[in-house]
A and B are shown apart, each in its own frame.
Chain A
């Protein structure tokens, strides 16, 4: 189950962060997302792994915390997408697919002329779309 998705801007400023749990663990998830940026930075700055995957946006599993697995995705404009999930074995292809949809939704959201670049995404449509994608991911990974 996806616990949290987040978009982080190129200055590591949170643009969108949404948790999908009932519990009051927003702070914890904020911390998890924030920490995972360290790993993103590390991945990006360590070119040794990125030989064949130079243009790969998907960063893969960033790090497993005690209960969560954190996946990352980095666009060409250095916008980071973070996915926090409790599923222990997730297929890489599923995650890739998820991020692709997520990215498309993000692009549509920031293409809105009323969106101020670099500011938080407040669009309701975007939020709805994200929750649909998250739900779809839950179904596909369960099935």
Chain B
């Protein structure tokens, strides 16, 4: 436990509660002292605090003790009165304003809380707090109810130069000029008088002085008369090693000259004088008084009799009292005397005696309802308890009691309460009860804003130093305090407190509070004209998406306003607004890979790469193992940077996100790039990029940007970011010279004034932990680094009139056009197509042919039509003839055939490879990537059913079911051909012609299929003709032989081969199958002949139709084929109805299984699992592409999700009687628009045996049938 006297409160009490000496001087004394730049009191006061006075004291008890520390307070008589509160307030204001100037240091950061916690309280708190508190206490000094401020002695000082000094002494003690305390009876006017004669040694010799002193002694008494000689130094050049006067007058300028006429003897003389004053006069006088008073008090108040008497007397007095102020107690009253006794004892450090007297009198005052006096006594009791170090609880209780009494019962007692509160706070702080201390500070904060600001700030520090630290309250009180400072126009202080508060809220998600703090700091800085600092804080509040729109507007407007005032319009800031997601960065550039369209760019690189493998030279892609690849790469590209070509654009897509509700206009969005010479070593480059985050460096970047503008062409984009929107901005940079191009960042201007920038390359200092992240960043920054090589030829290619929407089965003739706009020719062209089932190469003869006439059969023996292609190499790679060199400015056209094989969305990938003729080029070849996505709508659904004629085994009845699945188009069937040399087909009724197939119409017709007898001669002849002769049946009404199509000619037979390949999987094949091709054409509506259509033929291929009988269970699915649905509202539910029919003679148990998994039982593996380009069955290709149709094909994840789900039961089981029908409802959910094949179900049937024996002719007793194709087109109604 520490000694109370050494605590801050103890020291404060010993300072404040010490004997007061009233000083009366003549003007000549003051004049003599002023030679030293000091007043008389100032001259003496450094010597009035004694640290080792060692005086024996005996008060009430007989046991003497020794006083060590003592202090006298000297005051001029004119100062012994209640200080003017107005003056005091002005002084406080001055102090605070001055402190505010000092505190506003822009260059240092506000201290962090952790930092503050590690330092002691007194270091952290501004030093003027102490002064402020002292002033507050001083305001209530010299009140009449507290005796410790009453002068104990009076020091009369007369100069030897005064005329008739003895008379001057008498004149000085003039009752008219004495303080009111002595005159109005609050204290005893008979006080100890001491006489001092001051002699200025500069004036004349001491002879006269001795005489005067003798005269004085005879007049006033030997003991009380003194002589003080000053200014012994004649030249005034005395230097004091430790000038004792400096501290009280530290703020004046010429501190060095203070006391320069006082030599060592003078100083010693002053010290002796004050010591004598204290030890020989004041202390003994006080001792004496204590003893006298103690005896009086004992006589009147101690003992049982006196107490009774006292009680009775007070009761009688009660009625006549002024309730608020209590009676006027004169110095002679009992109460005053007890108080004086207590205070004197306190000053003489006899706290026990003081306490007992205070206790005695406090009950009296309480009974008298003299609340002010009562509170003051309670306060002193608390102090006495504290100094005694006895009972902390008691002392606190007394303080609290006093405090509350001042506040509640004493009018205008706030100042007293403040003093009491400050003492109380110190008391609590001594006991580490910081939290309670903060509460007291809060209580004394009061109304006046400046006062409360200081108190609240002190309270905040108390919270900071409480254990554990209450940081949130610290922050809150700082904010409260700052608010009060602002109210009293102390903006600098307000900024200081708010800045400290910032550290509390930093890193938390209490954004409202954070915004408030930063916004106000910003505003105040702006008010002071410090716009730079204001902008820094306003930057913090820009990201205020949680605020209301008006607040956002306010913040934004203020920010712009302050920024404009800084006058640094060209400086680049690291703006938090708008948000740029570095991971969203999309860089498109062309090295050896070039793209025909933006859609081609968006296809995943790995898809392209595996697709290209066959086409490009194996040297660069043949990866025997990964080590080799690594070494090859490093040897080829020393910096592993990307390669781009002079004059070819690099497109960078940057996503700008505006989190606010207000719209932000952005102008001049462009990339920050640097193009350096290739010879630069990478080390220096890296250094520059690493330090790019500082403001200075970003300015540097701007400079560099200007310098390099000649070699780099940048695009400028303007856009307005609407509230809450995300905008992808495409920025383009075109290098004009060879070298190393680095894309450093992006810059933009908000509202045309504030320039912001964003560095794509993240700060390398930041990632120090995981090496994995570093690697990632490294590669990321490398992605933005390009080696610019000299210009290369580049082919531009396009397929003319490629349709976006076709009907299934449509056959089209397309032209591919390749053009070379550069100087150098290209050669060795190769081409690969992903889906030969859909798109196929034509041959050179296909130029200028007349489609569709070229497909028709030519009756003559010579065949001049297109022949089936002879392909070299792989199935899907096409080598252009060697003489095809595309020279400068020329172009090449090539025919292509397109056949829409299956409904659904289809993505066609085409890669064109070419080599550069110029050997010196650093790149030998380039590829052109083309991508087309199209929607194939279901048109004609055709199915064949063959049943053997029981009478003639080689003849079959063919039933062709044709359905027009479109909603608006009509079709005319032209021809049905059966393929294979052993078949002949004919119509049952040769005169019958199938009618026009209207939209939605279904139609069946019957044919006779005959198996030819094998003739050896025939077969040879057929093989020499190189095409199987099938039977063709003309279905159209036109009587024109020429209009028969030759299905053995190039595009048709090629596509048919493809179809065979795909459809093969669906049945077990064998020789019992026959292939059919149905050729039809679209009949255009005659109502609008204005619309010209190209002649459009459709060929439907049905392969491997089995000639064996089918299952006894047949079914059909009914339901809509085309649905409009708004997908923004919900997903689409489609109800279907399945009608089952059992044609057998027994009861069949049927089970319908719906499968939601993306692979059908027979369609092979899932697309997304395949890394590479294989002949992907289109059933799954439909699923892959249809769900991302319309959106960018970027997420591979989607591909595994099936866009349709059977939403009813996954398995239905039922019993079906012989020859009966049943209807089963089905339901399917569709999640995005597209065309879907709902054949992913299977019907399992099981015939129950009829009776005991089984009929062997009835076929199998059980089986499983896969679902029939059923196409459902769902069109988004919102998109139209």
Q: Which positions in A face B, CB cutoff 8 Å?
A: 12-14, 26-27, 30-31, 34-35, 37-38, 41-42, 45
Residue of A nearest to B435 (CB): A42
Q: Which positions in B face A, CB cutoff 8 Å?
A: 463, 468, 470-473, 475-476, 479, 508-510, 512-513, 516
Q: What are 18 A-B pairs with beta-carbon distances under 8 A?
A: A12-B508, A13-B508, A13-B509, A14-B509, A26-B512, A27-B513, A30-B512, A34-B472, A34-B476, A34-B510, A34-B513, A35-B476, A38-B470, A38-B471, A38-B473, A41-B468, A42-B468, A45-B468
- Identify the 3 closest CB pairs spanning chains A and B, nearest first: A38-B470, A13-B509, A38-B472
CA A26 to CA B547, docked complex, whole Å: 11
Instruction: Determine which of A13, A14, A26, A37 lies in contact with B472 in the assembled complex, contact meaning CB atoms within 8 Å.
Output: A37
Interface centre among A30, A31, A45 (most CB of B within 10 A): A31
Residue of A nearest to B477 (CB): A35
Instruction: Determine which of B471, B509, B512 lies in contact with A27 in the assembled complex, contact meaning CB atoms within 8 Å.
Output: B512
Neighbouring A residues of B508 by C-beta, 8 Å: 12-13
Q: A30-B510, A31-B476 are in contact. List 8 more A-B contacts (CB 8 A).
A: A12-B508, A31-B513, A34-B475, A34-B513, A35-B473, A38-B473, A41-B468, A42-B470
CA A31 to CA B480, docked complex, whole Å: 10
CA A97 to CA B666, docked complex, whole Å: 53
Neighbouring A residues of B475 by C-beta, 8 Å: 34
Whether A27 and B476, one on each chain, are in contact in the complex, defined by CB atoms closer than 8 angstroms, is no
Residue of B nearest to A26 (CB): B512
Whether A31 and B468, one on each chain, are in contact in the complex, defined by CB atoms closer than 8 angstroms, is no
CA A27 to CA B505, docked complex, whole Å: 14
Neighbouring B residues of A27 by C-beta, 8 Å: 512-513, 516
Identify whether the interface residues of B are mostly helix, strand, loop, or mixed: helix
CA A30 to CA B475, docked complex, whole Å: 12
CA A17 to CA B258, docked complex, whole Å: 63
Minimal beta-carbon separation of A38 from chain B (angstroms): 4
Neighbouring B residues of A31 by C-beta, 8 Å: 476, 479, 513
Neighbouring A residues of B463 by C-beta, 8 Å: 38
Whether A30 and B468, one on each chain, are in contact in the complex, defined by CB atoms closer than 8 angstroms, is no
CA A26 to CA B513, docked complex, whole Å: 10
Minimal beta-carbon separation of A46 from chain B (angstroms): 10
Neighbouring B residues of A30 by C-beta, 8 Å: 510, 512-513
Neighbouring B residues of A35 by C-beta, 8 Å: 472-473, 476
Neighbouring B residues of A38 by C-beta, 8 Å: 463, 470-473
CA A45 to CA B510, docked complex, whole Å: 23
Neighbouring A residues of B510 by C-beta, 8 Å: 13-14, 30, 34
Residue of A nearest to B516 (CB): A27
Neighbouring A residues of B468 by C-beta, 8 Å: 41-42, 45
CA A34 to CA B474, docked complex, whole Å: 11
Interface centre among A12, A13, A35, A38 (most CB of B within 10 A): A38
Neighbouring A residues of B472 by C-beta, 8 Å: 34-35, 37-38
Neighbouring B residues of A34 by C-beta, 8 Å: 472, 475-476, 510, 513
Neighbouring B residues of A37 by C-beta, 8 Å: 472
Neighbouring A residues of B479 by C-beta, 8 Å: 31
Minimal beta-carbon separation of B439 from chain A (angstroms): 10
CA A38 to CA B427, docked complex, whole Å: 24
Residue of A nearest to B514 (CB): A30
Minimal beta-carbon separation of B441 from chain A (angstroms): 14
Neighbouring B residues of A13 by C-beta, 8 Å: 508-510
CA A30 to CA B476, docked complex, whole Å: 10
Minimal beta-carbon separation of B1141 from chain A (angstroms): 45
Residue of B nearest to A37 (CB): B472
CA A15 to CA B472, docked complex, whole Å: 17
Minimal beta-carbon separation of A119 from chain B (angstroms): 10
Neighbouring A residues of B516 by C-beta, 8 Å: 27
Neighbouring A residues of B473 by C-beta, 8 Å: 35, 38
Neighbouring A residues of B512 by C-beta, 8 Å: 26-27, 30
CA A26 to CA B512, docked complex, whole Å: 9
Neighbouring B residues of A12 by C-beta, 8 Å: 508
Minimal beta-carbon separation of A121 from chain B (angstroms): 13
Minimal beta-carbon separation of A26 from chain B (angstroms): 7
Neighbouring A residues of B509 by C-beta, 8 Å: 13-14
Minimal beta-carbon separation of A87 from chain B (angstroms): 22
CA A30 to CA B508, docked complex, whole Å: 13
CA A27 to CA B520, docked complex, whole Å: 13
Residue of A nearest to B468 (CB): A45
CA A13 to CA B507, docked complex, whole Å: 10
Minimal beta-carbon separation of A140 from chain B (angstroms): 30
CA A138 to CA B105, docked complex, whole Å: 50
Neighbouring A residues of B513 by C-beta, 8 Å: 27, 30-31, 34
Residue of B nearest to A15 (CB): B509
Minimal beta-carbon separation of B536 from chain A (angstroms): 22
Residue of B nearest to A9 (CB): B509
